[in-house]
Amino acid sequence: MTIDEAIIELEAAKANLRFTRLQNICSEFFGKPRIKGSHHIFKTTWQGDPRINLQKDGGKAKEYQIEQVVAALKKLKATQE
């Protein structure tokens, strides 16, 4: 999966994305998360925002967290160009 494909998928399913799918996308691009309680924290190559800190919301991903992941993917893509 490319960064562009991930962004398209996330933007298309903002209100109806399973948490595990979001977690899998983040793991693919940012590595394994550090888990602290219910928080899944992914390390990025930059300091500051956008940070990736996911929490499950009854099996679904929270919409604002999807937006944070999209922003992080766009920043990751910009650093690779």
Task: For 26-78, write each residue's pLDDT tens digit.
Answer: 999 999 999 998 899 999 888 888 889 998 878 889 899 999 999 999 999 99
pLDDT of residue 57: 74
pLDDT of residue 8: 94
Checking if the pLDDT of 14 tops 90, the result is: no
First to last CA, the chain: 17
Give the single-character DSSP code of 56. E
Task: Please name the helix (run of DSSP H) or strand (run of DSSP E) that holds residue 42, with its range, or none.
Answer: strand 39-42
**Residue 35 structure tokens:** 């888990």
User: Residue 18: which of 50, 58, 52 has the closest Cα?
Assistant: 58
Flag whether the pTM goes above 0.85.
Answer: yes
